[in-house]
Chains A and B, each alone.
Chain A
Amino acid sequence: MRMGEGYKLIRNDWVGFLGLCLFLCFLGISVLGLLLTRGSEPILDPKKVRLHEKLKPPMCKASPETIANEKLPFGRFLLGTDDLGRDVFARMLQGAYVSMSVGFVSVGISVLIGVIIGGISGYYGDRNIGLITFLSLLLLIAGIILIISSNRSLGLLLSCLGVISLLLKKTRFLKQMDRQFIDVDSFIMRIVDIMLCFPSFFLILTVVVVLPPSIYNIMIVIGVTSWMGTARFVRAEFLALRELDFVKAAKLLGLSDMKIIFVHMLPNAIGPVLVSATLGVASAILVEAGLSFLGLGVPPPHATWGNILSDGKNYLFDAPWLTFIPGFTIMLVVLSFNLFGEALRDMVNPKLKS
């Protein structure tokens, strides 16, 4: 994307530009939020429980007892308090940072995995895995699994067999049997298929229920269950790029594989990846909100928007702001990501140039 393109973007597609602006806005707010609410003596405290101030509406004055102990902007609770008297404004700020980081880290993980797997599949695709190699890898993995599930003896036996056959596969005896079995591309695509067979929310649910609740686990889980799309894109791009002249030239020049992939191919393939990453952040934030609704989201005391929303739903008739404020905020943020992502897609897609 060069400067001229950027300029055209603003002129033609102001919606996308709006999305980008909102997105940068929220980025700024989340950084601000982090600064204002972190540490044990933050300027705006999201954790402080003030039971006597519970369920106060936005812009209400704080009671004298509270003002004596702490400083509040204008002496008011800008967005009201929740059922434990915590400052909703401070919590929303902290939530901004947490929700954003959940979104970015999980997408980061999924993009990383996706690029690596898609890249290998696209570039080394027609290399072959021999039968013996495949079987020994299988034995090794089965052995490890059995060891973990406390079937030590059998597991140890299988893993040893696997390792031995891997080491010995170059010997004459096994080399004959090490026929062409499956090529790397098909193999990886089968793995992607296997992952795709699990309905994603269901899978996230299963894993989250089972792991101890922590913000990191949720990030990892969302990341590990959504790399498949990116992998497919990257693979498709690499397959196409591999046949192009400049890559062939690079190979002839003797450049190392790594250099070719990272310096030459990847920057060209990055387009669809960026698009799906942007949309992925939006989706991760929504997934986190959904998990909070079911009670499986980020545990306290971290405040995420999903948390505030699902805590607030019990008080819908008493304190509707607890539901509406985070709800609309999530909507706006996700909206901005979607708009921005779509604008990127339009830019990157050569077929839609009008």
Chain B
Amino acid sequence: MVKFISKNLYQRAITLFFVSIVSFLVIYLAPGKPTQVDPLNPKFTPELVERMRKEFNLDKPIYIQYLLFYNDLFSGKLKSWKDNQSVMKKIRDRFLNSLPLFILGTLITWTISFPIGIYSAIKRGSFVDKTVSLLSYFFISIPGFFFAYILIVFVVKVFEVPVIGMNTFGLEETSLLTIFMDRVWHLVIPSFLGATGGIAILSRYVRSQMLEVLDNEYIRTAWAKGLSPDEVYYRHALRNALLPFITMFGMIIPGLIGGSVIIESIFSWPGLGRLAYEAIMARDYPVVLTLNFISACLVLLGTFLSDILYLFADPRIRL
């Protein structure tokens, strides 16, 4: 067991190292240099542009830049090129903004997918099942920003409440409860948008897993034994059908660093997605690389967690 874990970790560490190199290369070999200094602005002389290059270490050879960068990253000294703030601080602030969105989205997705998926499997072929399938397909197929606009226009015109931003701007009341509820409301529409795709996919997956399990011999035995439907479904079938989802749990972790650029732009939500987008557009290398690195770490952590969970969950696997 210990051997398995350590071998796993060791391989992941090597992967991480290679990821750091590859992401570093992709960005540095790209055309287009950082744009804080705008060469088309008549006030910027070439000397100034050159001086900025030096300041930001762009004139040293590439492997030195690599070492300098990762050294700064780990010591927390890394500064963003756009506005000289500490990269980790920026990421942490935006992360705290994206986190509620992510948590609520995941919560909605998981709590709604399961009942729907299970019900569809039980009542396979029924009207409800077919409607749910069709709806799921619609939600997967609609372009995200199109749906977002329609939703926003609808809510604003019909309900006349603000939808964008993290909280209502003109909120004068300061009672804690109102503030809290206001924030919850602002979370609803964006996380709902993020969740629709997830619900569609996850519920269908739940459904197909349930169907697969229900086909098995031991379920037929359970029916034959005369157990009640509830017992057959929820005590016997469900447990086995849930197996792959336990491992999927681990894969939630990489989602922490995600954040859809499109949804965040439309809803003026200052989250990680927008941070990443702005950093890429401004060639703010420190921020981009740090985000990449963190995301890679989380992916590796997530898959590692999945592997471990799978170990515990599936009684058939024994090392």
A335 touching B296, Cβ below 8 Å: no
CB of A313 within 8 Å of the partner chain: yes
Complex contacts, B288 vs chain A, CB 8 Å: 206
Contact A309 B140, CB 8 Å, known A15-B133, A197-B295: no
Contact B137 A193 (CB under 8 A): no
Cα A149 to Cα B25 in complex, Å, equals 9
> In the assembly, what is the distance between CA of A12 and CA of B147, in Å?
32
Q: How far is the CB of A36 from chain B (nearest CB, A)?
A: 25
**How far is it, in angstroms, between the C-alpha of A14 and the C-alpha of B8 when the chains are bound?**
46
Given known A-B contacts A194-B22, A196-B299, A352-B211, A290 and B146 have beta carbons under 8 A apart: no
Contact B257 A352 (CB under 8 A): no
**Which residues of chain A come closer than 8 Å to B299, judged between CB atoms?**
196-197
Is chain A's binding surface mostly helix, strand, loop or mixed? helix
Given contacts A327-B146, A338-B141, contact A190 B261 (CB under 8 A): no
Partner of A286 from B15, B31, B62, B143 at Cβ < 8 Å: B143
B-facing residues in A267-305 (Cβ within 8 Å): 282, 286, 289-290, 293-294
A331 to B204, CA, bound (A): 19
Known: A145-B25, A351-B215. A290 touches B141 (CB 8 A): no
**Chain A residues whose C-beta falls within 8 Å of the C-beta of B146 in the assembled complex:** 289, 309, 323, 327, 330-331
Q: What chain B residues lie within 8 Å of A286 (beta carbons)?
A: 141, 143-144
**What residue of chain A has the Cβ atom nearest to residue B18's Cβ?**
A194
Cβ of B171 within 8 Å of any chain A Cβ, yes or no, is no
Per-position binary interface string of chain B over residues 273-301, scored 1 when its CB falls under 8 Å from any chain A CB and 0 otherwise:
00011001100000010011001100110
CB–CB B62/A146 < 8 A: yes
Task: Tell me which residues from 188 to 214 in chain A have a Cβ below 8 Å from any Cβ of chain B.
Answer: 190, 193-194, 196-199, 201-202, 205-207, 209-211
CB neighbours of A330 from chain B (8 A): 141-143, 146
A residues touching B (Cβ–Cβ < 8 Å)?
15, 145-146, 148-149, 151, 154, 190, 193-194, 196-199, 201-202, 205-207, 209-211, 282, 286, 289-290, 293-294, 306, 309-310, 313, 316, 323, 327, 330-332, 334-335, 338-339, 342, 351-352, 354
B-side interface residues toward A, CB under 8 Å?
11, 14-16, 18-19, 22-23, 25-32, 61-63, 130, 133-134, 137-138, 140-146, 149, 153, 204, 208, 211-212, 215, 254, 257-258, 260-262, 265, 276-277, 280-281, 288, 291-292, 295-296, 299-300, 303
Top 5 closest A-B pairs, CB basis?
Answer: A210-B30, A197-B296, A334-B141, A327-B146, A335-B141
Can you list 18 A-B pairs, Cβ within 8 angstroms, ordered by A? A15-B133, A15-B134, A145-B25, A190-B14, A194-B22, A198-B23, A198-B296, A199-B257, A205-B261, A206-B26, A206-B280, A209-B280, A211-B31, A289-B143, A294-B262, A330-B141, A335-B141, A342-B137
